């Protein structure tokens, strides 16, 4: 990663800290920048639900496998460990951590990841979440890359505070809950789009994001209008029913795996 790329990443992120701030889009941007600038395969942000568990807030790609891997850390994995200790967790080689987090390691390796890092999102004495970085090759990130990752984790935290500053009455607890609920709205909207347009979930997210950008709308606000039915223009006709496609539902193997 070059100094220039890095500077650009921070400038681009700072650019989004404006009036019409969209926290969900911002967190997505942070994870995308992480993957690019830190040279990792994928990145995700998990936030505390304040009931002792972490929930998915954003991911660099919306592939279901990555979201599942992130949400698995409600139970086990480097992020809960990082969240509870407040310290970075580095696993240079996932295959050596199978006993520590059996389910997480199995699923991460199946998804093609070989190493994982978790960096705390810290606000004064509180830890509010964790930034999760996945590498395709075994190996620990060097000290400098970890510092940059931590800087990006801090930027994600600033984003939460920024949203809070704009809605200036809110406490951080209120803001975290609102963010997690926005994430649910986005998942619901992805489902509507996936069904209406007959696309998969990552394509649905791209469509949602693209449309929000093109029309200069907030991601979560557009998602809400898709779910409540007030936004239908670009969604197309409802998909044909299963009966219309095949009178006798047959689902024979097409040779694909799973």
Partner 1 sequence: MRIWAQVGKQTMGAPATVGHVCAAAMAGVNVDGAGVTIMAGSTARDVLHASDRVAADLEEWQLTYGQGPCVDAFTRGGPVIAPDLRSSESLSRWPVFSPAALDSGARAVFALPLQIGAIRLGVLDLYRARPGAMSSYELADALAFADATAMMVIDDAAGLQPDTSELAWQRDDPTAHQVQVHQATGMIIAQLGASAEIAFARLRAYAYAHDRRLGDVARDVVERRLRFEPDSLRESMEQDEV
Question: Nearer to partner 1 by C-beta: 143 or 254?
Answer: 254
Q: Could you tell me the CA-to-CA distances from 82 to 87, 149, 197 in Å, in that order?
A: 5, 14, 39
- Tokens 């940059």 belong to 148
Q: Indicate which single residue of 5, 18, 39, 52 sits in contact with partner 1 (rule: CB under 8 A).
A: 52
Among 175, 202, 207, 212, binds partner 1 (CB under 8 A): 175
Nearest one of 166, 184, 42, 58 to 107, comparing CA atoms: 42
Q: Is 24 in the site for partner 1 (CB under 8 A)?
A: no
Q: Among residue numbers 90 through 109, which ones bind partner 1 (CB under 8 A)? A: none
- 229 forms part of the interface with partner 1 (CB under 8 A): yes
Q: Which stretch binds partner 1 (CB under 8 A): 105-113, 149-157, 169-177, 209-217?
A: 169-177
Binding string, residues 184-223; x marks residues near partner 1 by CB under 8 A: xx-xxxxxxxxxx----x---------------------x
Kind and range of the H or E run holding 89: strand 89-91
State in angstroms the smallest separation of the CB of 208 from partner 1: 11
Interatomic CA distance for residues 234 and 196, integer angstroms: 10
CB 71, min distance to partner 1, A: 6
- Kindly state the smallest distance separating residue 178's Cβ from partner 1, in Å: 3
Contacts 24+ apart (CB under 8 A), 69-74: 69/44, 69/104, 69/107, 69/108, 69/111, 69/113, 69/134, 70/44, 70/46, 70/132, 72/103, 72/104, 72/107, 73/46, 73/104, 73/132
Count of residues that bind partner 1 according to CB under 8 A: 51
């Amino acid at each position: 990663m070059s100094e220039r790329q890095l500077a650009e990443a921070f400038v681009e992120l700072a650019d989004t800290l404006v009036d019409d701030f969209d926290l969900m889009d911002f967190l997505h941007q942070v994870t995308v920048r992480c993957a690019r600038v830190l040279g990792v395969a994928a990145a995700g942000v998990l936030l505390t639900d304040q009931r002792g568990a972490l929930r998915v807030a954003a991911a660099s790609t919306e592939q279901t496998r990555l979201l599942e891997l992130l949400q698995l850390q409600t139970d086990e994995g480097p992020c809960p460990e990082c969240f509870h200790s407040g310290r970075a967790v580095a696993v240079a080689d996932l295959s050596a951590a199978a006993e520590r987090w059996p389910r997480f390691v199995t699923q991460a390796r199946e998804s093609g990841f070989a190493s994982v890092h978790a960096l705390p999102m810290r606000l004064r004495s509180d830890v509010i979440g964790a930034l999760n970085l996945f590498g395709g090759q075994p190996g620990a990130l060097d000290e400098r890359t970890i510092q940059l990752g931590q800087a990006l984790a801090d930027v994600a935290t600033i984003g939460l505070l920024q949203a809070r500053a704009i809605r200036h009455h809110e406490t951080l607890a209120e803001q975290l809950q609102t963010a997690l609920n926005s994430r649910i709205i986005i998942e619901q909207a992805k489902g509507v789009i996936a069904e209406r347009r007959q696309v998969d979930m990552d394509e649905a997210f791209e469509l949602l994001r693209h449309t929000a950008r093109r029309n200069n709308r907030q991601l979560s606000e557009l998602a809400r209008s898709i779910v409540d039915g007030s936004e239908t223009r670009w969604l197309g006709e409802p998909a044909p029913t299963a009966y219309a496609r095949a009178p006798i539902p047959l689902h024979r193997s097409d040779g694909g795996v799973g």
